[in-house]
Each structure stands twice: as C-alpha cells, then as structure tokens.
Amino acid sequence: MSRRLEKLGAEVARVQDEALADDRRRSAVRRRLLSGDGVGAGKAPSRERSSRWVPVLAWAGAMAAIVFAIVALWPRVAEPIAYRVDGESDSGLVDHPIAAPDDRPTSIGFTDGSAVQLGPSARARVRQLRTDGVTLALERGEATVSVRHRKDTRWSVEAGPFLVRITGTRFRVAWQPERESFDLQVFEGEVRASGPDMPERILRDGDEVHRMLAPEPAPEPAPEPIPAIEKPEPVPESSRPPRPEPPAHAAPPEGSSPPRATPEKSTESEPPLETNPQGEREQPQPPPTEAPAAEAPPTEASAPEPPPEPAWKTLLDQRDYAALLTTAGPDQVEQALWHAGPNQLIDLGAAARELGDARAGYIYGVVRSRFPTTDAAADAAFLLGRMEFHSGAYRGSATWFETYLRERPDGRFAREAAGRLLEAYHQSGDEERAREAARQYLGRYPNGPHATLARSVLE
C-alpha cells in the first residue's frame, strides 16, 4: 500500500510540474501578443480573450490526469473466493449441499488455489466465502483438505461440534454423526483443533486426534446378592442332657468265639440303650433337633443402593437450565449437551441468551449437529441468524435466515425469517439481494410487518 501511494504522489507531482511549465510558456506568449510583436493590431483583442482560457484548460487537464492516476493506481477491492465442484463453472453459493456419490470421491477447487476432496458418500456445505478464506462444514464422511498458504489466510473446517482452523496445510478430517466420532490427521503444515472436552490445541506433521462423543452403552445391573441363610448356633455342651454310661457286659465264657465285630456307629445318631427302673430296656429316642431358622427376608440394608445421579442430570431433568449453566462446571455442561434432547437444547440455548452466556451459539450448533433434519435444527438456524443480526453481522445472519427458509419454508418462523432476511440485506448494503428478498416477501406476506420496508426497497 505505501509503495502504491508513493507512485501516486510522484505521478501527481509530475503532472503538476508539466502544468506549471505549460502555464509559464503560455504567459510568455500572452505577453508577446499584448505587446503586438508580429501580430496585427486588429487581432490583439480576440487573441487576448482566448488567452484567458489557457490557464483554466491547463488546470483542467492537470486535474484529469490526477484523477486518471488515482483510478489507475488505487488498490482494487478483492473479490470473495469462489469454488467449483468437479470442474463445473465457478460458484459463489453459500450453504449449498455438496454430496459425493457412493462409488467415487468428489473434488472441490477454490479460486485461491486450495482444494478439498470429499470421500465417497461424504457430504459438506460451504458456509462462508470471504476474500481471505473459506468456512467449510463437513456434515458426514471424510475429506482431504489442502489449503494454499497466503499472507492472511482464514480457512476453517467445521466437523460436527469440532473446529479446525487452518493457515496453510494438508490434512484429513472425518466426522460420523451416527457414532459422533471425529478423526483428524495432519500430513503437512499446522492446524488448530478444538471441540467438546478438547481445548484448542496445535497439531503438526504426523499428529492425529480421535474423539468419540456418543455415550457408551450402560452396563447391565449386577444381580442382587442372595441373603445368606442363618445357621443355628451350636448348643453349648453344658446345656445338653447328660448321656448315660453304657452298661457293663459280662465277659464271654471260655471256649466261645468272640462276638463278631460290627461297624462303629456315631453315638449322636444312635445312642446306647437305656434301662428303666423295672430293668426293661427302652428304645433309644433320637436326640432333639433344632428347627432351621426361617429364611430372613432381604432388608433395605442388604440391597445395593443405586449410585446418585450427577448434578447436571438432575438439573437437566428438572429443566433448571439457568442453574445448570451457572453452577455446573464446563465438563458437566458438555455432558448435558450431549445427553439432552433437541427441545431441551433449544430451551438451554434460550436460557444462555437470557444470561448473556456466550455459549448460546455453541448450544444451537450442537442441535444442528446432533439432530440435523429435525424442526429443532431448523429453529436453531433461525435463532443463530437472529443472534448474528442483533450483533451487527448482517451477512452472516442472512445466511442463517436463508438456511431456515430452505429447510422449513412453511415453518413457524418462516414469515419472521423472510422479513429478517430483507432487513439483513438492506442493512448490509446489498440492494440487489434486498430487492429480491422484498419481492419474495410481498409475494407471500403482502400485509406482513415488513411489507412497508419491502415496498420502500422496491421504489
């Protein structure tokens, strides 16, 4: 820029010097004409009148030369980057789906020299096209990205909730929404990657990142332990009834064979015979046995207690979103984001907006990543557009309003999105798109709240 201004100044000085020299020459001619040297007296007045215009014409020519030099040397405004898909014509469409067929990859070339190759079945969108870079959203599949390094390069790739910032490099990135898995491998150069539970980190040649956000299947509950049957306590020896001594038997007579030995039996199972006072033997009675104790019913103390629910889940179930955002830690909020339903996330984003929490936009992005084809995802696009509109980012808000109208042309926010789109283009100074938005608005909502603005734009 400074070198161009120096050239401009030199050109202006040269033109001024030439104009001054011409003026001096014309002044000399004028003096000679007034003195009558070599000119008839009758023609002097006419030439005197014509000589009055000489300085004016000289300065007019000098100013024209200055304007021409300014136009020629003034730096031209750079145009936004465009792209082409598989050799087709250049395109400047944003948020337009680009899908690769199932049997072959698809190439995307950009006018800044960068290139993206989508793997088979991959799907992506070009979110933004700027003069210094591009924002590409990888909705599913794999992409190989090669970004040409320039002085001011602002390239980025969104893969689900993950963001990869690029200054000039070559890498492979993949996102699978069903499993919520993210993969990044850097082949050359340097990138900065960030995402849930992953602060921004720098990755260079050969570095890789693998993340899985889907919750693991809950383990099967352990079977409840069977309470042990209480065994009867042994009766103390002192409390048992005394056992009678076995009677003394006479010795066998001489010459008789000794009695045949019989197996020994337990004295507890078969006690020895006893005699009553009349000398008769009594039949032995089995010892009294104690009845087994009845099985004790399981008590609350014996059953395992379920683990308490984490605080973030309690707050999420109670829909106390303000407390969740203000009291729970960052990790707990992340867990809540990836376990909550679509409507819960919409309400959580609204609570973040009311609190002035900067994570509101991120929450709406999670809705679109986890539930891409639902009404909640379309509503999140509208809410993102409204947030950017109120922040003064009119072009970005127009992109989100167009996204909502494309996904839900008859949705509950369709009329407001159409009016906001008109306002966004009008505020950004894009009158051509503002007129088109005004015609579409009046065609659908001739008596809508933005009808007056639409008619004034078309006048």
Per DSSP, 164 falls in state E
Q: In sequence order, which residues have a C-beta less than 8 Å from that of residue 197 and are 6 or more positions away?
A: 211, 331, 334
| CA 372 to each of CA 118, 272, 285: distance values in angstroms, whole numbers, following the listed order | 19, 89, 84
Q: In sequence order, which residues have a C-beta less than 8 Å from that of residue 373 and are 6 or more positions away?
A: none
Element (H, E) at 99: strand 97-99
pLDDT of 379 reads: 93
Domain ranges of the chain: 2-73, 83-212, 311-458
| CA 200 to each of CA 192, 369, 412: distance values in angstroms, whole numbers, following the listed order | 6, 19, 37
322, burial (CB in 10 Å: exposed 0-12, middle 13-18, buried 19+): middle
Alpha carbon distance, N-terminus to C-terminus of the chain: 40
pLDDT of 30 reads: 66
415, burial (CB in 10 Å: exposed 0-12, middle 13-18, buried 19+): middle
- Rounded to 5 degrees, what are φ and ψ at 302? -80, -25
pTM, two decimal places: 0.40
pLDDT of 310 reads: 82
Structure tokens at 229: 């049957």
pLDDT in tens, the chain (459 residues): 556 656 666 666 676 666 666 666 666 656 765 665 544 444 445 555 555 555 666 666 667 666 665 655 555 556 888 999 987 888 888 888 899 888 888 999 998 888 999 988 899 999 888 888 899 999 999 999 999 877 778 889 999 888 999 877 889 999 988 878 889 989 888 899 988 778 888 888 888 888 887 655 555 555 555 555 544 455 454 444 454 444 444 444 444 444 444 444 444 444 444 444 444 455 555 555 555 555 555 555 555 666 777 888 888 888 889 998 999 888 888 888 888 999 999 999 999 998 989 889 989 988 998 898 899 999 999 999 999 898 888 888 999 999 999 999 999 999 999 999 999 999 989 999 999 999 999 999 999 889 999 999 998
3-state helix, strand, coil in the chain (%, to 5): 40, 20, 40
83-212, CATH topology level: Jelly Rolls (2.60.120)
Place of tokens 């100044």: 9
Contact between 145 and 157 (Cβ < 8 Å): yes
Element (H, E) at 142: strand 134-146
Could you tell me where the DSSP H helices lie in 52-200?
53-73
What is the rounded distance in angstroms from the CA atom of residue 335 to the CA atom of residue 329? 10
Amino acid at 157: V
| CA 364 to each of CA 315, 348, 434: distance values in angstroms, whole numbers, following the listed order | 19, 9, 27
Strand, helix or coil for residue 454: helix
Please, how many CA atoms are within 13 Å of residue 40, restricted to the half-sphere of its CB?
Answer: 3
Structure tokens at 34: 């007034």
pLDDT of 436 reads: 93
- CA nearest to 196, candidates 336, 325, 334: 334
CATH code of the region 311-458: 1.25.40.10
What is the rounded distance in angstroms from the CA atom of residue 64 to the CA atom of residue 302? 100
pLDDT of 156 reads: 92
User: How far is Cα of residue 263 from the mean position of the Cα atoms in its chain?
Assistant: 86
pLDDT of 246 reads: 46
Q: In sequence order, which residues have a C-beta less than 8 Å from that of residue 259 and are 6 or more positions away?
A: 252
pLDDT of 164 reads: 92
pLDDT of 287 reads: 55
Element (H, E) at 90: none
What is the rounded distance in angstroms from the CA atom of residue 272 to the CA atom of residue 248? 12
pLDDT of 414 reads: 93
- CA nearest to 164, candidates 127, 142, 140, 137: 137
pLDDT of 103 reads: 80
What is the rounded distance in angstroms from the CA atom of residue 423 to the CA atom of residue 448? 14
Structure tokens at 177: 């929404």
Structure tokens at 58: 């000289």
* Partners of residue 198 on adjacent β-strands: 195
Contact between 203 and 170 (Cβ < 8 Å): no
- How does 113-124 read in b/e, with b if 16+ C-beta sit within 10 Å? ebbbbbbeebbb
Q: How many helices (H) and strands (E) does the chain have?
A: 13, 13
Please, how many CA atoms are within 13 Å of residue 421, restricted to the half-sphere of its CB?
Answer: 26
Indicate if the alpha-carbon torsion angle 124, 129, 134, 135 is positive or negative: negative
- How does 384-413 read in b/e, with b if 16+ C-beta sit within 10 Å? bbbbbbeeebbbbbbbbbbbbbebbeebeb
CB under 8 Å, gap of 24 or more: what pairs does 167-173 form?
167/191, 169/145, 170/144, 170/145, 170/146, 171/144, 171/145, 172/142, 172/143, 172/144, 172/145, 173/138, 173/142, 173/143, 173/145
